[in-house]
Amino acid sequence: MSAIYDRVALIGLGLIASSMAHAMRRAGLAAEITGFARSAETRAAAREVGFCDRVCDTAAEAVSGADLIVLCVPVGAMGVVAAEIAPALKSGATVSDVGSVKRAVIEAVAPHLPDNVHFVPAHPLAGTEHSGPRSGFAELFDNRWCLIVPVEGADRGAVDRVARLWQGMGALTDEMEADHHDLVLAVTSHAPHLIAYTMVGVADDLRRVTDSEVIKYSAAGFRDFTRIAASDPTMWRDVFLTNREATLEILGRFTEELFALQRAIRTGDGDMLFDYFTRTRAIRRGIIEAGQDTDAPDFGRVKKG
C-alpha cells in the first residue's frame, strides 16, 4: 500500500500510539512518523523500541510540518494538549484523536484549533489491559472497528483519508455521531469496565475474610474480571468523568436488571433465570459470528505445561 500521509505526528506514546506506529509501518502508510510524550522516560522508551522515525522533545517540534496529528493521550488531557500544539500546526493539516469518549473530546479540542486545520475525531475499538510505549503491536487493530466521528461541517476528503488510514492499519471503519457513540460505548465498554472494577473490589475486600482463597482458586469468571479491572487507572478515571450521563444511564438500567435477577434467585424462579441466560447466550454467539471474538474455550488461552 502506498503512503496515505507524508508525515504523521503521534502525541502521547502509549499502547494506542505505539500500535498505530507499528501498524502504519507494516503497511507503509506514512513516509515519516514523529512522536512526543510528556515524560523523558516514555520518550526514551519510545526511542529504544524505535517505532517512530523521530521522537521529539517538544510537542511543537513533533507536529511541525505534519499532515496528520493524532492525539493519543487520556481523554481528560486532550484539551490542554490541543492548546499546546495549535500554534505549531501546518495549514491544511488534519488533527485526529483516539479518545474513548467523543463528545467531551470534541468540546475540549475544537475551540483550540485554527480554522485552516481539519478535525476528524476517531475511536479504535481495540485495546489491552497493558499501557505504555512497550505494549504496542502491529496487529492490535486487525479486524477491529474504528469509529470515525465527523464534526459538523467536516471536510469529506479529510474524513475519508483518516478512514483510509485506519483501514490500512487493519481496521474496519464506520461513522457515528458523537452522542450516539458515547451511549453505545457506555453499554459495550464503559459500564462493563465499571462492573469489573466493582467485582474485583468486592473480592479484594473478601480476601481478608477468606484468607486469599479468592486469589488462589480464582475461577474463569473472576479471572476475566481481573483482566479488565487491570486497565489503566488514569484512562478509565477520565472515561467515567467525561462520559458521565451515558454511563449513569446504563448503570441505572443495570441495577434494575440486577434487582430482577436477585429477586428470581430469592424466590427460586428458575424459569426466569433460565430464560434470561438463554437470551444472553445468544449475544455471545452473535459476537463470534461477527468475527469479533474467538469461539475457542476459555477465550483461546493456551494451557501451560
Q: Which of 13, 165, 176, 186 binds ligand NAP (CB under 6 A)?
A: 13
Residue with Cβ nearer ligand NAP (232 or 269): 232
Q: Which of 16, 20, 108, 171 binds ligand NAP (CB under 6 A)?
A: 16
Residue with Cβ nearer ligand NAP (234 or 269): 234
Can residue 42 be called a binding residue for ligand NAP (CB under 6 A)?
A: yes
Residue with Cβ nearer ligand NAP (34 or 214): 34
Can residue 242 be called a binding residue for ligand NAP (CB under 6 A)?
A: no
Whole-number Å distance between alpha carbons of 68 and 289: 35
Select the span of 94-102, 112-120, 176-184, 214-222 touching ligand NAP (CB under 6 A).
94-102
Q: Which of 4, 10, 15, 23 binds ligand NAP (CB under 6 A)?
A: 15
CA neighbor of 122 nearest in space, from 94, 90, 85, 89: 94
Can residue 132 be called a binding residue for ligand NAP (CB under 6 A)?
A: yes
Can residue 124 be called a binding residue for ligand NAP (CB under 6 A)?
A: yes
Can residue 37 be called a binding residue for ligand NAP (CB under 6 A)?
A: yes
Residue with Cβ nearer ligand NAP (66 or 73): 73
Q: Which of 12, 79, 121, 170 binds ligand NAP (CB under 6 A)?
A: 12
Q: Which of 113, 235, 250, 251 binds ligand NAP (CB under 6 A)?
A: 235
Closest approach, Cβ 17 to ligand NAP, in A, equals 6
Residue with Cβ nearer ligand NAP (39 or 267): 39
Q: Is the dihedral of CA 85, 59, 233, 180 positive or negative?
A: positive
Can residue 104 be called a binding residue for ligand NAP (CB under 6 A)?
A: no
Can residue 72 be called a binding residue for ligand NAP (CB under 6 A)?
A: yes
Residues of this chain that interact with ligand NAP (CB under 6 A) are 12-17, 37-39, 42, 72-75, 77, 81, 98-100, 123-124, 127, 131-132, 232, 234-235
